[in-house]
Amino acid sequence: MATFKEFRNNVKPNWCPGCGDFSIQAAIQRAAANVGLEPEQLAVISGIGCSGRISGYINAYGLHGIHGRALPIAQGVKLANRELTVIASGGDGDGFAIGMGHTVHAIRRNLNITYIVMDNQIYGLTKGQTSPRSAEGFKTKSTPEGSIESTLSPLEIAMSAGATFVAQSFSSDLKGLTSLIEQGIKHEGFSLINVFSPCVTFNKINTYDWFKENIVSLDGFPDYDPSNRMAAMNKIMETNGLLTGLIYQNTTRKSYEDMITGFKSEGLANQELAITEEQFNQLVSEFK
């Protein structure tokens, strides 16, 4: 069985010192080892942005896609080889701006993949512009007088789209984040894990101290039931989306793969796909 060290490679991350993404990378590596994966059983697909670099920092199959398109690629990988554990990752701009359409449809489709969003509430790679997750009044290079747009709530959107696994964490909580990723990997269906990952360079508002003062952990609600969809939505709204922990899980709905008639448990990548001349001629005859 692989240890988390075996999910490391020799590529040194070039994130800013103190970036929350370091902890998220470590949590993915620890979770993969804890659930018993080998590096060749994991695929990490990422988009564009500081967070997009993560697919190159983990010793596993990896693909650094284009902006907002991590989820289409990840779904394609999973359908081609459902034997792989697939983790998609990206930032709040990648997943909730240019890629929002893909995010909503991936949620409702419910393929068995885990989507980890590194939410720093700003565009970091392009040097600090307002993102869909920035608060009203947030001043950046793109909104020097303060943002006049409302803040997007990914948790509420995920719940409305029919998500079967919704969780949120904070990059400083390595133990809690690792546990949520483990649960997400084991969940049969689409798992959304939004992670507050402070940008120490461009976001001087939503800092580590700010999150520590404002986050509400579900650990403080021992009677909370994550299978209660209505309670989950209410708790999200009560806390203004600053809730952490396993917020909602539906274990009764089948994954997309399990609902496809005749879809084999063996990955397409490992199947014999050659056809006989007779089968070929039969296919061609249908177009005459």
Torsion sign across C-alpha atoms 165, 171, 172, 175:
positive
- Other beta carbons within 10 angstroms of residue 69's beta carbon come to 18
Residue 288: pLDDT over 80: no
- The Cα–Cα gap between 176 and 195 comes to 11
Contact 11, 56 (CB under 8 A): yes
Q: Write down the architecture of domain 4-285 according to CATH.
A: 3-Layer(aba) Sandwich (3.40)
- The Cα–Cα gap between 133 and 120 comes to 8
pLDDT digits (tens, 9 = 90+) for 28-40: 999 999 999 999 9
pLDDT digits (tens, 9 = 90+) for 155-164: 999 999 999 9
Residue 217: pLDDT over 90: yes
Residue 53 is predicted with a pLDDT of 92
CA atoms within 13 A on the CB side of 101: 3
Residue 110: pLDDT over 80: yes
Sheet holding 243-249, edge to edge: 61-64, 42-46, 85-91, 114-119, 191-196, 165-170, 243-249, 216-217
> Where residue 267 falls among pLDDT bands split at 50, 70, 90?
confident
Q: How far is Cα of residue 196 from the mean position of the Cα atoms in its chain? A: 12
pLDDT digits (tens, 9 = 90+) for 21-80: 999 999 999 999 999 999 999 999 999 989 899 999 999 999 999 889 999 999 999 999
Tokens of 59: 């010793």
pLDDT digits (tens, 9 = 90+) for 162-185: 999 999 999 999 999 999 999 999
Nearest to 158 by CA among 85, 79, 248: 248
pLDDT digits (tens, 9 = 90+) for 180-201: 999 999 999 999 999 999 999 9
Q: What is the pTM of this model?
A: 0.94
Contact 50, 15 (CB under 8 A): yes
